[in-house]
Structure 1
């Protein structure tokens, strides 16, 4: 019976022996595999290029500032150009001379422009840098069209300005009216002046009263009273009457009033002389 039991015990296979020092590596392999997959999915070339671009972009302002600092120097000279009537090249050079000795790069050209354009005669100033240490200034002066009500000048663009030397503008027509109506006066003056030339008459001035009445002055001294209403039609009537009746006696006429509906009233120079008080 003992023998039978022994035989049965041999039929059970023994457990295979384990190798000494052996460990399981399955989970570790899975973890590193995921990490490798993540790293392999990153576009390293694009990341590197992007980082390089960002670094260079950050360095450009610093490098530019360093370069300009190294190149910077003082403004040494100012050149002024332009056609001058009211102002002078010397005076503008003297005014711009305040910037000589200032930083060539750090000086704000807009400040110079604003300062020069505050001068009464200056319409615009263009400033540019010329390396290594010079400024070039181009000045455009206001072009006076006429004298205004109180001795001021009005430019061709319709701007009123008050220079200290308006007389340098020379002989110009005289316009008058409320400041806010300056463009209306200029427009009417241009229209009348162009028509007068065709009849050999010169334009000397035009006044618009506060209440809206117009008075034209010819270069021969004749005043033409046009009033407030139907000014264009009355001006045409004056032209017709002058051409048909008054052209041959223009030297005798002092004043023409065309505010009448059926004609004009003429004041003769002889009437003025007779009405004058004797001393």
Structure 2
């Protein structure tokens, strides 16, 4: 009976012995395989090139800054160019001199430009660097078209400005009106002055009242009241009457009112007083 038991026990082989605390090695092998597969799939050449590009991109500004720092000089000279009527080269050079001694590269040219363009006569200022230590400033002045409301000027672009020396603009037409209507006044003045020139008459000025009435001044001193309505019609009526009846006596005429329907009203200059006979 014991023999039979031994035979039966051999028919069922025992499980291989296990070490205590030991774990299976299969999951660890799987993880290592996955890691190797991931590493093998990474394009290391492209990664290396990308890292190199990033590194160079970071180094270029640093290197450029070092080079510019080594090359930087102080601004030692400032040249001012332009044609001057209202402003002066000396005054602009004096204002720009505060940038002398500043860094050639670090100086903000837009700051200089903004500062100079605050001057009443300056329309634009262009500033450029000239290596190694010079700035060149090109100034373009405003071109006055007419005097405006007495003490100011209006430029050819319709900009109002108030320099301390408007009289240097010389002989110009005198325009007046509400500031917000300056462009309307300029357009009307250009139209009327062109039409006067075709009739041999000079244009001296034009005013627009707040309520919209126009008054024209001729170069010969005559004032022409055109009013608010039918301005073109009244202007043509004035021309017709002037050429037909008044041109020969223009030096006697002070004012012409063209606001009438069928004609004009003429105000004559006072007659010169007769000289007393010598006693």
Q: What residue in structure 2 maps to residue 174 of structure 1?
A: 174
Q: Work out the CA distance in 1 between the residues paired with 2:104 and 2:37.
A: 58
Pairwise CA distance, 1:158: 1.4
Q: Which runs of 4+ in 1 moved over 3 A?
A: 24-32
Q: What residue in structure 2 maps to residue 242 of structure 1?
A: 242
Pairwise CA distance, 1:173: 0.7
Q: What residue in structure 2 maps to residue 125 of structure 1?
A: 125
Pairwise CA distance, 1:228: 1.5
Q: Which moved more, 1:106-115 or 1:243-252?
A: 243-252
Pairwise CA distance, 1:74: 0.6
Aligned runs of 1:37-186 on 2, under 5 Å? 37-186=37-186
Q: What residue in structure 2 maps to residue 198 of structure 1?
A: 198
Q: Which moved more, 1:249-258 or 1:118-127?
A: 249-258
Q: Work out the CA distance in 2 between the residues paired with 1:257 and 1:121.
A: 38
Q: Which moved more, 1:217-226 or 1:49-58?
A: 49-58
TM normalised by structure 2 equals 0.86
Could you tell me which runs of 5 or more consecutive residues in structure 2 were left unpaired when the two chains were aligned: 17-23
Q: What residue in structure 2 maps to residue 253 of structure 1?
A: 253
Alpha carbons 2:151, 2:166 under 8 Å: kept = yes
* 1:215-271 alpha-carbon deviations (Å, 9 max, x no partner): 1010011110111212122112212222333233323322111010111112233xx
Q: What residue in structure 1 maps to residue 271 of structure 2?
A: 273
* 1:195-222 alpha-carbon deviations (Å, 9 max, x no partner): 1110000000111123322110100111
Classify the secondary structure of the residue corresponding to 1:125: strand
Pairwise CA distance, 1:28: 5.7
* 1:90-124 alpha-carbon deviations (Å, 9 max, x no partner): 11111111100011111111111111111111111
Alpha carbons 2:150, 2:174 under 8 Å: kept = no
Q: What residue in structure 1 maps to residue 19 of structure 2?
A: none
Pairwise CA distance, 1:83: 0.7
Q: What residue in structure 2 maps to residue 264 of structure 1?
A: 264
Classify the secondary structure of the residue corresponding to 1:137: strand
Q: Superposition RMSD on alpha carbons, in Å?
A: 2.8
Pairwise CA distance, 1:27: 5.9
Could you tell me which runs of 5 or more consecutive residues in structure 1 were left unpaired when the two chains were aligned: 19-23
Q: What residue in structure 1 maps to residue 21 of structure 2?
A: none
Q: How many residues get paired?
A: 268
Q: Work out the CA distance in 2 between the residues paired with 1:168 and 1:30.
A: 94
Pairwise CA distance, 1:25: 7.5
TM normalised by structure 1 equals 0.86
Q: What residue in structure 2 maps to residue 214 of structure 1?
A: 214
